[in-house]
Amino acid sequence: MQMINKATVSVFIFILFGASTGCAQNDSDNNEILLQGGYVLSMDAEIGDLASGDVLIRDGQIIEVAASIDAPQAQIIDATNMVIMPGFVETHWHMWESSWRGMANDAAEYFRYSEVLTPHYTPEDFHTAVRYAALDAINAGITTVHNWAHGVTDFEIAQAEMQALVDSGLRAKMGYLAVIEGEMIGEADLNRALDWINENGEGRLGLSLLLDGVQGEQMQTAAELGRSLSLWPITDHSGGLGTPEVSGEEFLVTHGPGLTPDAIEIMAERNIKVSLSPLIDPMIGGGLPPVYQLLAGGIPLENISFSVDVSAQTPVDPFASLRTMVNSARMQQVEANQAGMTAGTLIIPPPGTEWLFSYRDALFTGTYGGANVLGLADQIGSLTPGKRADVIMLNMNMINMLPLTDVNIPMQLVQHGLPENVDTVIIDGQIRKLNGELVGVDMQQVINETAQSQARIRSRAGEVIDTSR
């Protein structure tokens, strides 16, 4: 039995992953890991929370969650002063645009760059940007993403993006466009992508269908094609709300501000899922995530998730996303009920107010909810024995936290958590971050190559950035 700590981490990393490269390697002879002595936030209704507990992982699977586990052959990771919980699950992210950082100041600039820069990408640029975003995700405790790859114009580009996802170690859904350059793709195109995934995806990559650009009767054709191949989710930004007769439980609405009560009613009736963009939508002036309206309108908690959307514009920070969702829901609830005590110009809800969306609810949407939205709730999203081991450890013994177990842990995580608190990230049983450092990754190399990629794209496009705004 070996305890993994600061003294042994460098030796362990070398043995587990080998020499440092742009992305972590995925070969480990250690098939059993014991996370020991942490506060367990399981997101499993039967297991609940453990003030001090262990999680046993073997061959990429969660084997046991208990107050104390005896596993003499396991590599032990000390979880003292840590929260052990499922990894965050993100559900809508244009990862290929991540290299635009420092550029797209608002929505107008974003759409202009989409038009001006995209033709000047090479497959290498797509790979570089997606790799950069994927490692940013892992660093922040996100273990699963939905890569909304709407810049793909041919299979070579799709392959470059899929390879970047696999190389990073993330679990992901690859969003494949149903319409490319005005032409509807066919079953053969999707089967080609599925064949590549089956051969190279290492069990962590799946396919979804993006309906952006699908018109009229094509919606029915595209939906039937996606369903015939078991693609999940099927989505455009409206989630098929314009043609509700073809939508169903695998459909996904993105963003959310502007959803009408009638639209929410359709979503509830047809079990349509939603991916909110809590950081992007306020940043571009689009509005706050309508969490309260969704819940009050009958959308189940497990059908709500968060998205990064555009990491060129806002940070990859699940804590900030969930914090915005909670705070927005509270403002919306107070406004909807028009109840409160006035203190000057401040409306203060009365004592004993029952919030419709709690801190625990926020963490649930960020883990199990995201998994359910992506059709993966039977595999990930909770620390349930038998599920795949996508697990994170959050360090509470830092300046922005207090390492206490008899306080409101979900509140502390949501209101005070930062990506810096993410100490350990395990995806499919493989350690991808340990002691606060990405494993097997030369991050400076990744940063340099991403900056160089942006410079090349801008040079080809003849684009000069307006820094005055």
What digits encode the pLDDT tens for the residues 211-241? 988 988 889 999 999 999 999 999 988 877 8
Using DSSP's 3-state secondary structure scheme, residue 181 falls into coil
The answer to whether the predicted template modeling score (pTM) of the entire model surpasses 0.85 is: yes
Check pLDDT > 60 for residue 396: yes
Alpha helix locations (H) across 37-122? 107-117
Give pLDDT tens digits for 55-64.
999 999 999 9
Check pLDDT > 90 for residue 67: yes
pLDDT at 344: 59
Check pLDDT > 50 for residue 74: yes
Do the first three CATH levels of 2-86+382-438 and 89-373 match, i.e. the same topology? no
Residues of the chain with pLDDT > 90, as a percent, come to: 82
Mean pLDDT for 7-26 is 41
Residue whose token pair is 């496009």: 461
Of 63-77, 214-228, 404-418, least confident by mean pLDDT is 214-228
Mean pLDDT for 392-405 is 97
Confidence category of residue 18, pLDDT binned at 50, 70, 90: very low
pLDDT at 182: 84
Burial class of residue 294, CB neighbours in 10 A (0-12, 13-18, 19+): buried
Q: What is d(CA 326, CA 301) in angstroms, rounded to the nearest whole number?
A: 13
Domains of the chain, by residue range, sit at: 2-86+382-438, 89-373
Check pLDDT > 90 for residue 142: yes
Give pLDDT tens digits for 335-371.
888 755 555 567 788 888 899 999 999 999 999 999 9
Confidence category of residue 24, pLDDT binned at 50, 70, 90: very low
Taking a C-beta distance cutoff of 8 angstroms, is the pair 194, 230 a contact? no
Mean pLDDT for 153-181 is 97
Check pLDDT > 50 for residue 147: yes
The interaxial angle of helices 155-168 and 123-139, nearest 10 deg, is 30
Mean pLDDT for 293-311 is 99
Check pLDDT > 50 for residue 20: no
Architecture of domain 2-86+382-438: Roll (2.30)
Homologous superfamily (CATH) of 89-373 is: Metal-dependent hydrolases (3.20.20.140)
pLDDT at 19: 37
Mean pLDDT for 5-25 is 41
**C-alpha angle 311-388-193 in degrees, rounded to nearest 5:** 60
Average pLDDT score over the chain: 92
Using DSSP's 3-state secondary structure scheme, residue 388 falls into strand
Check pLDDT > 80 for residue 4: no
pLDDT at 342: 57
DSSP string across 284-322 = TT-----HHHHHHTT--GGGEEE--B-TTTS---HHHHH
Mean pLDDT for 250-278 is 97
**Residues with Cβ within 8 Å of residue 74, at least 6 apart in sequence:** 1, 32, 33, 34, 56
The residue count for the chain:
469
Alpha helix locations (H) across 18-143? 107-117, 123-139
